[in-house]
């Protein structure tokens, strides 16, 4: 990017500066550490100069917004056209309570819904299953049947909002419920906008809410791809997630690599299932974390866009530019929130959110400051949303596109992260791809090693966490906490009992038998699941049929 | 010196095992024998394993709010089937005002986010009843 | 531990208390004299169980295979004990024992007992404690006992020393040649399992194992070690492994090899115990300086010196205990 003779002059001048000006100061005032590093543990130099981006080719490596390789952003006008979607993940207790929270959030200017389901729902258990005890309605809303889903979206026009659902192993069932509610509201499927997470590979490697073994899970995913590409064309059929990989402890480079390696596995599975890359490629979306290291995170988002664009174009021969774009949601890192002096979390979240915006995110969830203590209170959720609004409307960072491009540090880190991630992907390819790498425990081990290293850096004081290992204060009782009514479990059990009594049980039985037959063949499973959902078969009943046919995943646990 | 044996388990359904795995490694590096059971363990499974492994400490983790019901159940079963000398400790996202009730129920200590590994290891070293 | 408490522990053990069995294993494991005492009492009740050694490289799916085999044996209403051994870190003395992760459901089965152990001092090999734990579980009434170790040369050979049937597990894709062949210990395997057989090059590994086995056939034993394919997590092929175990057991019993093998094993064990005792007595009573000086001055030769030592030992009462 810099002319050769210039570069020579810069090198000489830098050398002069180092031996002169710098040396004098360092002699008197040594630096804080002997070496500096990013949050991910990569070395950080004192100063970056044109020498560090010598190889960068503007047109080839950066280009223009909305054009390959999308380093500068996936849309031509980015936030000048429209700000990112402010989408707060929410859901708790019963469908009635969550429905009220959604309406409140929409009234406060939130522009998209993001549904959190409770763990039994995510693992395909009805609320009255023995394993669900103590978990119903805790980390999200409990949805056991279409009846619950109808309540959850009551008076919310599905043709107007875009809805993101954090649901993976049981995604097919919940998507069918959503489609059924739309049908009741008279909204055509082609108008539905939203996302299901549907990324089961990261469940094995990082998040833990898996049900079935990899191969039938991949089949469910490709069935959804195939069905939606025809019937629900505006729906994002997967949100390939690095967020949980990062939260489990990975570095930034690992977050990129393991996410894109999962992405490669989905693309390959879909191709194998006979789909064309440009049929489903445009519907792939991504989900990343934003950590404390503002500059490293910005570089991470840029590197991810460039790497995926290259993979889709060069490796899979995608022709449609939309297939090459990384459109992504970002959430600020939950594990960086401290229980100590919780108001400080507002500042952390602000910095992380800023990094996501400067990195060109399409939608954003900002964590509430009290989430290390328990479920967020309404006030904390509002501050989190206001944080985004202040960045969007007051800080002026959204007025120009990719403002940090050209920074020697940002560009050299973007290059480094892309290279590190590509190296990891090559290693995973050598192991036989993401599924095999997970089965062998490779990805889990890499993540755990990083997590342990990070924790040891905190223990040793090498890494400072304000209020935790530095600047602690004596604190009195901490702030108020939102509580889920423990009666949720009982009321859900009651509703289920009622449902099983009132529905047409012969129809349910027929639909489940049909689903079982389908699961044994290789027909697309979405239509039979849809019919079962419509007949008010419960989530647990549907998943039990599939568990029966597919078996359950058992982890390759390596600590 | 007698080797301390610790069982580390995630009760309930949440799969967030970063903390459990980090603490398992830390116990190992502190010279203990750590039996790791993985995620989605019921209290009954945890206690059955703790018995067969004859552990000195049962360490529980939950980030989903399941602790309210599940931690006391483990503590009760441990006490009934293993006696008073086994230490049951817990960690995760646990609201401060719920800690007294957990302690009342037999959880010897609750370690919230930000607790240092050293603090947990020291606690175990101090409280494991070596006389047994 | 007082004799009363000891007696009570034994009573509970005989009543079938898992807690008691677990505590006895702990006593034995930490070399508590009470453990040795109890072990002596239990010994007469052992010898009924059939011991299966499972060994193979890390990540080959040993625990998953064990889990599936135990489940099959449970269908036949057998009582089963499992001792899973993982390495202890030589630096910290700590160990991470993760085998239970794959055997979670078995924890609750009243007729299954699973114990994880670190190798502790015994670098790479099977610790005494693991052998003793097998005795305890044998006396506890387990019909089948599994001992599972990560394959790393010595521990595999050690497994062969304690087990009636040795299963060597391998998976495709770990390398061109298999671990056991590399270590030159193929002959200790009675059954070979190629796990994760859905992987591409499984058949290649099977053929490799078969041809290596044919080359190495020199046993007086007529047993032909089968090479079996499994996908352990699905249970695929596991029944054949169990059939293989039963066939090997029949073979040992019908040929009388089971008696000679077990006697040989006991002989080795007794000799090992003798060595330990002698070593212990010598380290206690060896007047090294004096004797060494005499040998040094050539007043005494090393052979006579040794004989004198042994003779002096035989006069003393030899109390069996652990070093």
Residue B66 has pLDDT above 90, yes or no: no
B15 CB neighbours in chain A (<8 A) are: 203, 207-210
Q: Which residues contact B111 (CB under 8 A, 6 or more apart)?
A: B89, B90, B91, B119, B120
Q: Does C116 touch chain B (CB under 8 A)?
A: yes
C92 CB neighbours in chain A (<8 A) are: none
CB–CB of C19/C8 below 8 Å? no
Q: Which residues contact A345 (CB under 8 A, 6 or more apart)?
A: A337, A338, A367, A368, A369, A370, A371, A372
Confidence of residue C150 (pLDDT cuts 50, 70, 90): confident
Partner-chain residue, chosen from B2, B35, B45, that has the shortest CB–CB distance to C30: B2
At C323 the pLDDT is 38
Helix (H, G, I), strand (E, B) or coil at A116: strand
Closest chain C residue to the Cα of A555, Cα to Cα: C102
At C128 the pLDDT is 79
CB–CB of C172/C194 below 8 Å? yes
Residue B117 has pLDDT above 80, yes or no: yes
Question: Average pLDDT of chain C?
Answer: 86
Question: What was the ipTM of the complex prediction?
Answer: 0.94
Chain C adjacent subunits, 3+ CB pairs under 8 A: A, B
Query: Any idea which of A107-116, A330-339, A532-541 has the lowest mean pLDDT?
Result: A107-116
Domains of chain B: total:
1
Residue A281 has pLDDT above 80, yes or no: yes
Residue A255 has pLDDT above 80, yes or no: yes
Domain boundaries, chain C: 1-44, 46-255, 270-314
Peptide bond into A69 cis (omega under 30): yes
Give me the mean pLDDT over the A28-32 stretch: 94
Residue A199 and residue A284: Cα distance in Å, rounded?
11
Chain B nearest C-alpha distance from A525 (Å): 26
**What are the pLDDT digits (tens) for A236-246?**
999 999 999 99
The answer to the question of residue B93 being in a domain is yes
Task: Name the most confidently modeled range: A474-483, A538-547, C186-195.
Answer: A538-547
With an 8 Å Cβ cutoff, are A131 and B70 in contact? no
Confidence of residue B96 (pLDDT cuts 50, 70, 90): confident
Q: Is the pTM of this model over 0.80?
A: yes
Domain boundaries, chain A: 59-460
Give me the mean pLDDT over the A345-359 stretch: 98
At A463 the pLDDT is 95
Confidence of residue C280 (pLDDT cuts 50, 70, 90): confident
Q: Which residues contact C300 (CB under 8 A, 6 or more apart)?
A: C291, C294
**What are the pLDDT digits (tens) for C61-82?**
899 999 999 999 999 999 999 9
* B83 Rama class: left (phi>0) / alpha (psi -120 to 50) / beta: left
Query: Any idea which of A378-392, A434-448, C25-39, C199-213 has the lowest mean pLDDT?
Result: C199-213
Taking only residues 476 to 505 of chain A, the set having a beta carbon closer than 8 angstroms to any beta carbon of chain B reads 477-478, 481, 483-484, 486
CB–CB of B84/B50 below 8 Å? no
Chain B nearest C-alpha distance from A464 (Å): 12
At C318 the pLDDT is 46
Partner-chain residue, chosen from B29, B36, B51, that has the shortest CB–CB distance to C18: B51
At C138 the pLDDT is 97
The answer to the question of residue B130 being in a domain is no
Residue C12 and residue C143: Cα distance in Å, rounded?
20
With an 8 Å Cβ cutoff, are A441 and C59 in contact? yes
| Closest-CA residue to A334 (of A385, A289, A398, A377) | A289
Bridge partners, A470 (sequence order)? A466
Q: How many beta-carbon pairs below 8 A join chains B and C?
A: 80
At C175 the pLDDT is 60
Partner-chain residue, chosen from A436, A441, A554, that has the shortest CB–CB distance to C233: A554
Q: Does A129 touch chain B (CB under 8 A)?
A: no
Confidence of residue B1 (pLDDT cuts 50, 70, 90): low
With an 8 Å Cβ cutoff, are C19 and B29 in contact? no
Residue C322 has pLDDT above 50, yes or no: no
At B109 the pLDDT is 97
Report the residue of B8, B9, B12, B18 to disrupt the A interface, i.e. the one with the largest count of A CBs within 10 Å: B18
**What are the pLDDT digits (tens) for A474-502?**
887 665 677 778 788 999 999 999 999 99
Residue A550 and residue A218: Cα distance in Å, rounded?
12
A549 CB neighbours in chain C (<8 A) are: none
Closest chain C residue to the Cα of B49, Cα to Cα: C107
Q: Which residues contact C69 (CB under 8 A, 6 or more apart)?
A: C52, C146, C238, C241, C242, C245
Give me the mean pLDDT over the C41-48 stretch: 93
The answer to the question of residue B120 being in a domain is no
**What are the pLDDT digits (tens) for C289-319?**
777 888 899 998 989 888 877 777 765 554 4
CB–CB of A312/A277 below 8 Å? yes
With an 8 Å Cβ cutoff, are A139 and B14 in contact? yes
- Which CATH homologous superfamily contains domain C46-255? P-loop containing nucleotide triphosphate hydrolases (3.40.50.300)
Residue B132 has pLDDT above 50, yes or no: no
Residue C286 has pLDDT above 80, yes or no: no
List the domain range (segments joined by +) for residue B27. Answer: 23-33+42-54+72-82+89-106
Query: Any idea which of C13-22, C48-57, C118-127, C224-233 has the lowest mean pLDDT?
Result: C118-127
Residue A83 and residue A398: Cα distance in Å, rounded?
8
Chain B adjacent subunits, 3+ CB pairs under 8 A: A, C
CB–CB of A332/A354 below 8 Å? no
Q: Which residues contact A382 (CB under 8 A, 6 or more apart)?
A: A108
Q: Does A134 touch chain B (CB under 8 A)?
A: yes
Topology, domain A59-460: TIM Barrel (3.20.20)
Confidence of residue C321 (pLDDT cuts 50, 70, 90): very low
């Amino acid at each position: 990017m810099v002319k050769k003779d210039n570069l020579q002059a810069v090198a000489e001048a830098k050398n002069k500066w180092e031996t002169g000006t710098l040396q004098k100061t360092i002699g008197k005032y040594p630096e804080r550490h002997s070496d500096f590093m990013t949050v991910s543990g990569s070395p950080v130099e004192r100063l970056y100069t044109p020498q560090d981006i010598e190889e960068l080719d503007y047109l080839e490596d950066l280009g223009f917004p909305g054009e390959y390789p999308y380093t500068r952003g996936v849309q031509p006008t980015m936030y000048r056209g429209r700000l990112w979607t402010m989408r707060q993940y929410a859901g708790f207790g019963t469908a009635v309570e969550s429905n009220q929270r959604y309406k409140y959030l929409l009234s406060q200017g939130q522009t998209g819904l993001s549904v959190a389901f409770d763990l039994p729902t995510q693992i395909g258990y009805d609320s009255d299953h023995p394993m669900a005890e103590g978990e119903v309605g805790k980390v999200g809303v409990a949805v056991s049947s279409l009846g619950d889903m109808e309540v959850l979206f009551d008076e919310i026009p599905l043709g107007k909002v875009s809805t993101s659902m954090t649901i993976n192993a049981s995604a097919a069932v919940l998507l069918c419920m959503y489609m059924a509610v739309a049908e009741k509201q008279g909204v055509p499927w082609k108008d539905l906008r939203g996302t299901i997470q549907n990324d089961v590979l990261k469940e094995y490697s990082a998040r833990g809410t898996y049900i079935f073994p990899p191969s039938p899970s991949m089949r469910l995913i490709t069935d959804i791809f195939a069905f939606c590409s025809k019937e629900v064309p505006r729906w994002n059929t997967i949100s390939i997630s690095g967020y949980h990989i990062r939260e489990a402890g990975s570095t930034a480079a690992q977050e990129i690599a393991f996410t894109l390696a999962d992405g490669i596995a989905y693309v390959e599975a879909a191709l194998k299932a006979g789909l064309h890359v440009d049929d489903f490629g445009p519907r792939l979306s991504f989900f990343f974390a934003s950590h404390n290291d503002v500059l490293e995170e910005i570089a991470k988002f840029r590197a991810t866009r460039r790497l995926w664009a290259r993979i889709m174009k060069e490796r899979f021969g995608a022709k449609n530019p939309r297939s090459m774009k990384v459109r992504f949601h970002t959430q600020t890192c939950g594990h960086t929130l401290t229980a100590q002096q919780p108001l400080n979390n507002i500042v952390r979240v602000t910095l992380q959110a800023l990094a996501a915006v400067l990195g060109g995110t399409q939608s954003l969830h900002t964590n509430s400051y009290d989430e290390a203590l328990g479920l967020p209170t309404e006030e904390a959720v509002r501050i989190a949303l206001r944080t985004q609004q202040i960045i969007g409307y007051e800080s002026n960072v959204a007025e120009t596109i990719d403002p940090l491009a050209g920074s020697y540090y940002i560009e050299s880190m973007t290059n480094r992260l892309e290279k590190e991630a590509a190296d990891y992907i090559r290693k995973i390819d050598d192991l036989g791809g993401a599924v095999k790498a997970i089965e062998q425990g490779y990805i889990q081990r890499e993540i755990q090693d990083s997590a342990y290293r990070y924790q040891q850096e905190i223990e040793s004081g090498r890494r400072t966490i304000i209020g935790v290992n530095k600047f602690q204060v004596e604190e009195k009782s901490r702030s108020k906490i939102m509580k889920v009514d423990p009666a949720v479990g009982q009321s859900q059990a009651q509703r289920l009992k009622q449902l099983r009594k009132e529905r047409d049980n012969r129809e349910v039985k027929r639909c489940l038998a049909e689903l079982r037959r389908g699961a044994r063949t290789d027909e697309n499973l979405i239509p039979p699941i849809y019919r079962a959902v419509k007949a008010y078969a419960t989530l647990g009943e549907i998943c039990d049929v599939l568990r029966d046919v597919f078996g359950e995943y058992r982890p390759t646990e390596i600590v | 010196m007698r080797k301390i044996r610790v069982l580390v388990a995630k009760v309930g359904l949440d799969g967030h095992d970063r903390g459990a795995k980090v603490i398992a490694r830390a116990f190992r590096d502190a010279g203990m024998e750590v039996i790791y059971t993985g995620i989605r363990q019921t209290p009954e499974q945890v206690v059955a394993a703790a018995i067969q492994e004859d552990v000195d400490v049962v360490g529980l983790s939950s980030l989903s709010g399941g602790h309210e019901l599940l931690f006391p159940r483990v503590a009760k079963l441990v006490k009934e089937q293993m006696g008073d000398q086994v230490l049951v400790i817990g960690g995760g996202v646990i609201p401060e005002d719920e800690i007294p009730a957990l302690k009342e129920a037999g959880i010897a200590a609750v370690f919230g986010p930000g607790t240092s590994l050293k603090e947990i290891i020291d606690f175990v070293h101090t409280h494991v009843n070596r006389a047994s | 531990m007082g004799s009363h408490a000891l007696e009570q522990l034994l009573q509970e053990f005989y009543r079938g208390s898992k807690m008691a069995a677990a505590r006895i294993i702990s006593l034995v494991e930490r070399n508590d004299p009470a453990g040795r005492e109890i072990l002596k009492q239990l010994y007469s009740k052992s010898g009924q169980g059939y011991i299966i050694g499972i060994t193979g490289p890390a990540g080959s799916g040993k625990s998953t295979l064990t889990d599936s085999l135990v489940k099959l044996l449970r269908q036949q209403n057998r009582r089963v004990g499992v001792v899973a051994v993982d390495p202890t870190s030589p630096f910290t003395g700590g160990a991470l024992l993760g085998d239970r992760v794959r055997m979670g459901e078995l924890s609750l089965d009243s007729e299954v007992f699973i114990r994880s152990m670190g190798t502790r001092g015994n670098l790479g090999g099977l610790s005494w404690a693991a052998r003793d734990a097998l005795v305890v579980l044998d006396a506890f009434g387990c019909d089948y006992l599994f001992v599972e170790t990560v394959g790393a040369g010595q521990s595999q050979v050690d497994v062969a020393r304690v087990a009636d049937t040795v299963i060597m597990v391998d998976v495709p894709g770990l390398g061109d040649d298999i671990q056991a062949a590399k270590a030159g210990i193929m002959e200790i395997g009675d059954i070979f399992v190629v796990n994760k057989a859905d992987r591409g090059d499984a058949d290649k590994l099977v053929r490799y194992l078969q041809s290596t086995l044919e080359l190495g056939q020199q046993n007086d034993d007529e047993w032909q070690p089968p090479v079996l394919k499994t996908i352990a997590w699905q249970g695929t092929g596991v029944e054949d492994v169990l059939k293989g175990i039963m066939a090997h057991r029949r073979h040992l019993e019908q040929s009388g090899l089971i008696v000679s093998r077990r006697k040989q094993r006991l002989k080795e064990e007794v000799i090992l115990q003798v060595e330990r005792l002698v070593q212990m007595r010598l380290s206690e009573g060896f007047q090294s300086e004096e004797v060494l000086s005499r040998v040094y001055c050539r007043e005494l030769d090393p052979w006579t010196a040794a004989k004198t030592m042994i003779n002096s030992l035989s006069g003393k009462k030899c109390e069996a205990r652990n070093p």
